Structure 1
Amino acid sequence: MNFYSLYGSNQEYSLNILELNSTKFLFLRHFPQDKLLYYLPQCEFGEEEEETIDELKKKVKIDEETRLFISNQSVNISKNNNLMEIEQQEDNQKSPFYTKIKDKHYIKGAMKFDLTFLNNIDQNSIDFILITSIDDIFLLPFLFQQNKLKAKVYATVPVAQIGQHVLQEYYKLVQNRNRNIDLSSSENKNGQYFQNSQNSYFQESEFLDLFETQYDLEINQWADIFSYEDIQNALSKITTMNFGQKLQLEGVDTIIEPVSSGYSIGSCVWILEYHSNRLAVFNNACKHNIRHTLNLDQSSKLKDSLDFLFVTPFLNTSKELTALTKQFNTSYLSEAYLIKFFQLAQQLLQQKQNLIIPIRDGGIILDLLDILEKKLASFIRHFYIICESALPYIHFGNSNVEFLNEILQKKIFCENPENPFSAYDQFVQKNQNISILPDFIAFQQLSKSQPLQSLIINRTPSIFFVVDSSLRLGNTMQLLKLINESIPNQEEFSSSILLVDPYMQSPHVVAPILGLFRNQIFYTPLDNRMHVQEFCEYVKQINPKNLIYPRKYQDIQIFLEQQREQSGQRILTSVYGNDEAISLNLYQHEQGALTINKNELKNIKFSKFERIPFLPQIGQIKGILNSETGQISTRISISNQMEFDDKLNEETKQIIILRYKNLIQRNQGYINLQNFIIQEMNQLGYQQTSTQTNSEGLKIYLKNQTTNDIAYVEHDKEKTSVFCSNKDNTLSILNFIKQKINIVELK
């Protein structure tokens, strides 16, 4: 078994490959966008009047924490008054291809992407791609764009379904930006007009030489944005799975299973079973109490059952953990970031500031809706979300509660049921002060009875979430310009920018626009990544036999050594560095009576009489009634295609009789019915031995450790059934399970 960590030229980004007996599994990570900061933010500014340094100082202000952070990056800060000094610099050598601001060159033209790190992969050798979150899915269209990749792709249902909206949104933003680039109005060094052509633009030698020699950028190898067809092609390669679902991969002796990682909706840890070895790959993770997504799995699937736990370089290593968690009285750093963000937002809103919050996609809204409605609604005039993927996130979460935390799940089963993300309903129905818009063009079309500038003034202070966390796609800049023009008072700041994307915390994000607008800038990351110390505590709980992690996480080794001294807990460790491969020996487990011989299976005849179908009956559930259409939904489903709607009048909205659903309620949460039956059979001495899949469904074989009785649990589109080779055992299993849940026996 081999594990590879491939960095290439970008030392902040890695791809990881797990190899099991020549079968290679590729794990992607978030799409690196740091090279976008070499582009000039796009906005039509017009001619600026020459201003003095004192006048420019009034236009931009940063908080003390940001001032200290930027000063470490060698940006000129005035320590006396905590204001950034703007130095006017002239660029004598004008070019249609780039501009120079404060000793740094910025590309003017159409946006391309540095994908040279993908050259590290022999794409023909990849057999499977296991997607762990929506962040990972950005690379898929690029990978399949060249038709070299033949790998099969697996992801959870939310990642695939919401990912489609996120990819389409990003494609439109980049295309709109590129269409608005007009180099034809600039003159080249010969005084001739430059033809606006992406291909010609990225072949201009002077431009390429400058960025290659001065910034070590191989721009001539950068790629165009993927097409809409590339998106559809990539998504068509994905096989979707649900948490806890096991799948035998075709052609290889490996079973895969996703379990919740707690990072974002649908994000997962992949468990692989190979030759009786259990492996898990952590490519993202988050433990929390209040965030929207289902928490990091801590069940027996991971605890005391893993032979190998692989960790990719995703962990947060911030030194703020102790200070922030203590300050905000929370156990987890990701939640401390949330509380800090809301306190800052409340403070700025009380100062009548418009808040502009650039985001990567609509996923962050799921964490913020409830608290915005409960804690900030009284401070704002309006709440704008300029983000096409926001509504798909909200609608999916409302319809698929099994991917949400237990608090949100309970909201649909209380005495007065409501959607998990009912804060959106509250904004719409009660306050009517929320607008969710696909792009800035839709925002410009909001006001028909009065000028848009007047609307902004009348609705100050407002909060604007806008998809454009790099500030290079145009939405954020256009919004800043509009607010700046709408509130012309030179003595006041017209807005505050809150940079929340954890991957966009560099001062280079805002460097080209400093001095253009009257605003304050705050770095307040909403970072969901598990902190390295939180991860250490988690490892202590699940107790894997082997832990494989990046060499740079020295805190892990220190923690494990302390654990060994204090409790005797011994976890074997291996470390790897950049562009390194590590080889490990798999365990040779004794399987004994728990294996099922194929010939043995052929001799068993399962009688139809012994087939026991199960139909979960959850009882009297109040659904959510749509008063306009008369439809009522149970909100219990494993995907939005499995939603049961029934036409009811308003007087008959109390009770719904469920058709088959693959979820049952247990311990105030929800569990897959098939997995529940298997867990109960484990208590009767049955252990899982293998899994088979086909177009009809899934079949899981089990064997009794004491009696050697063989059984299997089968799940298809209509029902879950139990088959046993012994009739008495079948009845015993049925009676045992009936004590735990309400069962309807089908005749």
Structure 2
Amino acid sequence: MKFISLSGNACKPCNAIKFKSTLVMLDCALDTTTSMAFLPLPLVHSNHLSSLPNWTPKDVKDPQLENEFKECCGRVFIDSAPEFCIPETSTINLKHVDVILISNYQSMLALPYITERTEFKGIVYATEPTLQIATQYMEEIVKYIERTPKSKQASLWKKNYKHIPLVVNVDTAHNSKPILWQQMYSTKEFNNSLAKVKVIGFSEQIDIFGSLHAQPMSAGYCIGSCNWTISSNHEKIVYLSNSSTLTTHPKPMDHIPLRNADVLILNNLSQTPHVNPDSMLGEFCINIGKALQIGGNVLIPCYSSGVIYDLFECLALHLEQSGHLSVPMYFVSPVAEHSLAYSNILAEWLTSNKQSRVYIPEEPFPHAALVRGGRLKHFKSISLDSFNTEFKTPCIVFTGHPSLRFGDVVHLIELWGNSSNNLIVFTEPDFPYMEALAPYQPLQMRVVYCPIDTSLNFSQANKLLRDLRPKNLIIPQCYTTPPPFLKHRTDLVIDCEATIFSYKRNNVIKLPLKRSFERIDIDSDLASNLLPVQVRPGVSIATVTGSLLAKDNKFKLQVLSKSQIHELSSESPTHTLPPVHYTWGSIDLQLFMSLLSKAGIYDAVIDQNSNGCVVHIRSHETVVEMEENSTTIICDSNSIRLLLRDMISECLKRV
């Protein structure tokens, strides 16, 4: 088995495994952190962004580079449409990839780059919620970027990126070279890509060309998220990604089928393993309450699905208890309406508590009631007349994108950034918040960082691994040492009794998992003629002769046809018909001597030795050496040799 790493970012995975002549890709996440190196895309003309001075690298004398960079408070940004770090497309030939298995909607955003811009011809599998929510994610980010097009495209900087002090460190292990970065795909590309996805349910088994079987198991991280088991008849591989043992809104994690794997691939652990999501949720509500008390507005950069549903629920309750019931909450996104509506028709993918509400009948999530009551209002954009009509302050606005490089959040930061009464709260751990705010400085509005990541932390992962007991474990190299900002926390590493293999981007790992056995189905007519013989208590054997049919990596033993028997019975030197019986066991010496006497041989003498015995037949100058595992006849006469061979055969058991 081979493991191929196509992404170095442990939280934006894309890997492949090659086993039994099958190439399987595991996730195809898009690393959007590279967008931090670019200047934000404002909805309307921005005085601040347009007034930023140009910047030219001192060590590079190219006047054309001067128009590609802007400087803000000592930080350098690329003045162009954002580009993203896609999975490696050169490490493997993507036209040989048989299937892509998707674990959750966040790990699917790079799919159009693979299905529409390469020779990929395989099949993509994902759960229904994963497909639908990924569609919303892709639609949102594409619309954000397409509605604020850049008149120019910077590209010369990619030849000299090492001399440019960008916000993003492009030399880190998880980033590919900027020459491989690409701009966002089009609406047509992502629609064509998602049309190729086949929907699958939890525990549903799919056949991969007869070689392997794959099953998705609930991961408990987000709606529709799953872990995958990939198995043959004798080997088992587990892919464990973005899982959670916490009680939130998704269906709980199903870990029992993940036990005793030959190989377990682990990634996507919590990006903030040192903080507790519950305590962060409490701080989130408290800080918002304080801002509202002084008449400030609250801005929450967020994704359009996932944790946002829990934020709505907890914040609405907190506002009610703290006397801020009249403060409106706005959810602004091109897919806001779809996100709110779709989440309430996914009862079978939620916890049993939320499932039970459907039968009352009530919506699984309380945000439906908040919308009906007017406390939560949703809009496609802040530029709409309907938003301006409903808008009042102080208020709370949930909008995207969390990178702060595109979306309605760009305009709202400029609108509210000059007042210290206003507050921006970061809950998504994907982007370092100080770097996200860098192009907006100087900024007066207060900043609070409350990262809420419900993925497994290192302690939970190590506990789970002790229960799962894999033989071999594959993890990103960053999981073998503490995080750079917490070097003293030696507990923030993966510690497992299994044999551990670590990887970086573009690594290929050969694993000690080899094909030892194959399963063969026996034709019913052939099976009915088998005559098992007991060789010891509880163990019986039988000989079988048939024709082996191999088709679609499945094997079947069938009855020999008459033409096959005729061919094998011919005198062709390359074909022989197997014997009807096989002998086994120890030679019965008493029976052998009796058979010699019946054949008129009376001068046989037995000599015992440490290896067995030797029978001397002087009249025919013949010696028969009998050892534990072999019998040798030494004789000049072919007729006597054949006679003795048949006698020895009669003295053995047959099967």
Identify whether the pair has TM-score above 0.5, normalized to the shorter chain: yes
- SS of equivalent residue, structure 1 residue 36: helix
Equivalent residue, structure 1, for 2:524:
600
Q: 1:211 to 1:154 in 2, by over 3 A?
A: same
The 5-angstrom pairing of residues 541-690 of structure 1 reads 541-554=467-480, 571-578=497-504, 579-586=506-513, 597-600=521-524
Q: 1:42 to 1:551 in 2, by over 3 A?
A: closer
Q: CA shift at 1:474, angstroms?
A: 4.0
CA distance in 2, matches of 1:13, 1:373: 31
CA distance in 1, matches of 2:317, 2:525: 59
Counterpart residue identity of residue 446, structure 1: F
Percent of residue pairs identical: 21
1:5 maps onto 2:5 in alignment: yes
Give the number of equivalent residue pairs: 499
Equivalent residue, structure 1, for 2:341:
395
**Contact conserved, 2:272 with 2:453, CA < 8 A, in 1?**
no
1:97 maps onto 2:85 in alignment: no
Equivalent residue, structure 2, for 1:480:
413
Counterpart residue identity of residue 297, structure 2: N
The 5-angstrom pairing of residues 327-338 of structure 1 reads 333-338=276-281
- SS of equivalent residue, structure 2 residue 236: strand
Counterpart residue identity of residue 447, structure 1: N
Q: 1:306 to 1:280 in 2, by over 3 A?
A: same
Q: CA shift at 1:123, angstroms?
A: 1.5
The 5-angstrom pairing of residues 27-38 of structure 1 reads 27-28=26-27, 30-38=29-37
- SS of equivalent residue, structure 1 residue 144: helix
**Contact conserved, 2:11 with 2:271, CA < 8 A, in 1?**
no
- SS of equivalent residue, structure 2 residue 119: coil
Q: CA shift at 1:500, angstroms?
A: 1.6
- SS of equivalent residue, structure 1 residue 142: helix
Counterpart residue identity of residue 361, structure 2: P
Which of 270, 286, 292 pairs up with 1:343?
Answer: 286
Which of 242, 261, 264 pairs up with 1:309?
Answer: 264
CA distance in 2, matches of 1:116, 1:17: 11
CA distance in 2, matches of 1:169, 1:264: 18
Q: CA shift at 1:598, angstroms?
A: 4.8
The 5-angstrom pairing of residues 432-451 of structure 1 reads 432-442=374-384, 444-448=385-389
Which of 406, 410, 423 pairs up with 1:496?
Answer: 423
Equivalent residue, structure 1, for 2:551:
none
**Contact conserved, 1:334 with 1:529, CA < 8 A, in 2?**
no
Which of 514, 517, 542 pairs up with 2:441?
Answer: 514
**Contact conserved, 1:362 with 1:389, CA < 8 A, in 2?**
no
Equivalent residue, structure 1, for 2:20:
21
CA distance in 2, matches of 1:11, 1:268: 17
Which of 224, 241, 244 pairs up with 2:203?
Answer: 244
CA distance in 2, matches of 1:351, 1:407: 37
The 5-angstrom pairing of residues 228-243 of structure 1 reads 228-243=187-202
**Contact conserved, 2:217 with 2:254, CA < 8 A, in 1?**
yes
Counterpart residue identity of residue 308, structure 1: V
Counterpart residue identity of residue 510, structure 1: L
Q: 1:522 to 1:18 in 2, by over 3 A?
A: same
The 5-angstrom pairing of residues 220-369 of structure 1 reads 221-249=180-208, 251-289=209-247, 291-299=248-256, 301-303=257-259, 305-312=260-267, 314-316=268-270, 318=272, 320-321=274-275, 333-369=276-312
Q: 1:474 to 1:586 in 2, by over 3 A?
A: closer
Q: CA shift at 1:465, angstroms?
A: 0.6
- SS of equivalent residue, structure 1 residue 239: strand
Please give the per-residue CA displacement for 1:214-262, whole angstroms capped at 9, x wherever unaligned: 258665554332122211221122111011111112x231111101111
Does 352-361 or 368-377 show the bigger shift?
368-377
- Whose Rg is larger? 2
Please give the per-residue CA displacement for 1:399-449, whole angstroms capped at 9, x wherever unaligned: 221211122112123xx431101x12321333x12211122323x53234x
CA distance in 1, matches of 2:298, 2:232: 51
CA distance in 1, matches of 2:277, 2:403: 21
**Contact conserved, 1:89 with 1:102, CA < 8 A, in 2?**
no
Q: CA shift at 1:572, angstroms?
A: 2.7
Q: 1:197 to 1:100 in 2, by over 3 A?
A: closer
Q: Which runs of 5+ in 2 are unaligned?
A: 57-62, 171-176, 483-489, 529-655
Does 278-287 or 265-274 show the bigger shift?
278-287
Q: CA shift at 1:269, angstroms?
A: 0.2
Equivalent residue, structure 1, for 2:121:
150
Equivalent residue, structure 2, for 1:175:
146
Q: CA shift at 1:318, angstroms?
A: 4.2
What TM-score results when the alignment is normalised by the length of structure 1? 0.61
Counterpart residue identity of residue 585, structure 1: P
Which of 154, 163, 167 pairs up with 1:213?
Answer: 163
What TM-score results when the alignment is normalised by the length of structure 2? 0.69
Q: 1:335 to 1:555 in 2, by over 3 A?
A: farther
Q: Which runs of 5+ in 1 are unaligned?
A: 51-87, 182-195, 322-332, 485-489, 564-569, 605-747
The 5-angstrom pairing of residues 102-113 of structure 1 reads 102-113=73-84
Which of 469, 473, 493 pairs up with 2:402?
Answer: 469
CA distance in 2, matches of 1:306, 1:39: 43
Q: 1:214 to 1:134 in 2, by over 3 A?
A: same
